[in-house]
Structure 1
């Protein structure tokens, strides 16, 4: 039985107005808040912050039909040049978790793959030299202008990659243009975007399967071993067998640097101290079944 008699939902889109409402006692709880709002309230003893990785992975997607990204060594250099920890601190203000594959930390059968390509700018430079780019190269990073989080990520990535000689020209486009040119036509070099997960990894990783070789970040790359693993994973129900399958699948996706996997941004909730029993899910669900007001 619920512990509160009624719930009143108020829709406040402006972050400053959200802060003002909570501080004034007009609301008891803020949900889906930005890292900036959470940071502003972290030190206030009247409130507390809950956060948890979303079932969403932010990626640096790579067009593997375009040189130099056709070369695995160049993609490996990209992966080694990215400092996820710095990215999370500067963009998510600490409210993010590093990821190394296309599954978020809270997803079923998630396996940590951040160890495959640790931050190592010297190794990145060596790989570029080996691939024939001792002076680096220039590429275009197309960003959806309506997603400030991705734009900020792109700016930090540009600074990080410049340290190893990869010069990014940032191109901001509106969302319809991104959907048409990047997602629909695969007309891009690199892009930053978020991919939401599903309850089953068979659905989350379907874009890497044999049926989706035309997907925007799949063009120019395929791996028959991975495709067979994903086919088996979608058919088998035994949990331990699926765990083994999806661990190897994540490793293959990461090793081939199909994309560079950046972070799982956190869901953030801020509440007044008088609110007890809150539970935070990785999914876009607000569970208040155990919440109470003291």
Structure 2
């Protein structure tokens, strides 16, 4: 009898048979993806040689990840993040946008619509005592300012929680805002200094971190998605300098170019932006690459 263990003829034959089953796939890219997926997945199984209980545990884990997903939390995104897959995808796609701001992970909390806000408005709806002024520009890799670009912003509060994590104390939309740049491609808003925080650990991803003795913390940051006609959308962060965990982000999302500089508001800036002198201030430039497909719709 032919062995079905690693290297056995029947094991290899099974892989070939599954791959041949995709021969009639109409879309070439779909066929390529599925063929590669099966080849690598089967190689992984041959290498690990899981027992049936281990295979069942893997199925149960993925099922639990799906059960933990809801309209305001995406556990599969979190799993992709902690395995470094999200950052790998972002880094590969960055290669196609030379000169643009480095991208980074979306994260699991961009699951609600940010409220539309006027330039200069505060995204802090609970009246926190500490303030941070954020000013920035959106422009193309050619240096052209991009008026009427959208800038979607979201962040945690000073205690490290997003609005969806504390619906009893934070109103929906707190720490979030959708802004439109002015004719010079500029945007600005008021907020609070975000804190470092742990990613959610009450689900299967948290159990995975515990099993591997990994910490769940992310350094302090603000999320941005910038979009403009005829340019590739950009998903990125700015990280606050000096924050804990800059060198060990649980989702591997820190890039040196995204660690910003913090300054303080002077008298002229205080008058211009309506904030107190001495408030913390962060400046961010979001640089978008041209849309290679020539699309003109902003989603």
Radius of gyration: which is bigger? 2
In the superposition, the TM-score normalised over structure 2's length comes to 0.21
Report which of the two has the higher share of helix.
1
Which TM-score applies when normalising by structure 1?
0.21
- The structure richer in strand per residue is 1
Bigger relative contact order (CA 8 A; separation at least 6): 1
